[in-house]
Structure 1
Amino acid sequence: MRKTYNDWYLKKMRADKELSKETDEVEELLDEVKTIAMVGISRNRHRDSQYVARYLKEAGYQIVPVNPGADEILGEKSYPDLASIPFPVDVVDVFRRPEDIPEVVDEALKINPKVIWLQLGTGDHPEIRKKVEEKGIQYVQKRCIKVDHQFLIRPKKETN
């Protein structure tokens, strides 16, 4: 794991000015946010969305499952959609197919989170990035929130 960190975060990410700036922004937001809505989280504990949510919950974030087919996931009440969540969320973390992203992002914009995060595998959506950023919402895509936390935040907390 340390080699991956050194190769990816310290060499590749920091060598590219744009990626380095984005990584700094991701680090800052992961230090600040508290509540993460997990859109598309699976009921299957062996799916990536479950691993990510479980990790984030154990790291101290409030996880809000969004899955219309579940009443509860990871011991947390699950909501059928973002509009049904009765409190503000900081991050909308999306685990859906690329073709579903425009609809999910439109729904997310209605609840005005601080960040919309498209997990790895959700595609590249430059037109959506523009739309989100015009609303003053931070946009992250093609990154894993769990991996970023592991490499950017956890090491700082372990040394404190």
Structure 2
Amino acid sequence: MAFENPSRDRIKEILAGARNVAVVGLSDKPDRVSYMVAEAMQAKGYRIIPVNPMVTGTILGEVCYASLTDIPEPVDIVNVFRRSEQVVPVAEESVKIGAKTFWLQQGIFNEEAADIAQAAGLEVIMDRCIKVEDAILLPGGR
């Protein structure tokens, strides 16, 4: 059966109930899309947890972790900025940490990763920008 994203109403519920958003592939460069999206989400009240093994220190004022499994607190949404062919291990780590939602940014789609996450009970959203969805579904904030 072909993958289908949750309904818009369900995506709105996911966003409204989320607090901690781990951003895999978050760049420390302000001109990168991942940085701009995470910064906008942070401004809307989400706690952004950067995940990038190439960055030590902080991004957007938050400690950056090398992997999802290094994060010492619960994660509601794993938001992924990686190429489609690189997301299966991210899905596996998302399952391992007990994340609630596995979200692949616009242009990213991987059915194998979706199957792994869904089999473990995670909700999966693919090929959608979290910032755009938040702006459309929760324009006044959470």
Same fold per superposition (TM over 0.5): yes
8 A contact 2:42–2:48 mirrored in 1: yes
Structure-1 separation of matches of 2:86 and 2:32 = 18
- Deviation string 1:33-62 (CA, Å, 9 cap, x unpaired) is 100000000111111100110001000010
- 3-state SS of the aligned residue for 1:154? coil
How do residues 81-160 of structure 1 correspond to structure 2 at under 5 angstroms? Answer: 81-122=67-108, 124-155=109-140, 157=141
Structure 1 letter corresponding to 2:60: L
| Unmatched segments (≥5 aa) in structure 2 | none
> 1:44: which partner in 2?
29
Structure 2 letter corresponding to 1:38: V
How do residues 49-68 of structure 1 correspond to structure 2 at under 5 angstroms? Answer: 49-68=34-53
Percent identity over the alignment is: 38
After superposing on structure 2, the runs of 4+ consecutive aligned residues of structure 1 that deviate more than 3 Å are: none
TM-score, with length taken from structure 2: 0.91
Kindly report the root-mean-square deviation, in angstroms, between the aligned alpha carbons of the 2 structures.
1.6
| Unmatched segments (≥5 aa) in structure 1 | 1-17
Q: CA deviation at 1:130?
A: 2.3
- Deviation string 1:93-122 (CA, Å, 9 cap, x unpaired) is 000011111111111111010100000122
Determine which structure has greater relative contact order: mean sequence separation of CA pairs < 8 Å that are 6+ residues apart, divided by chain length.
Answer: 2
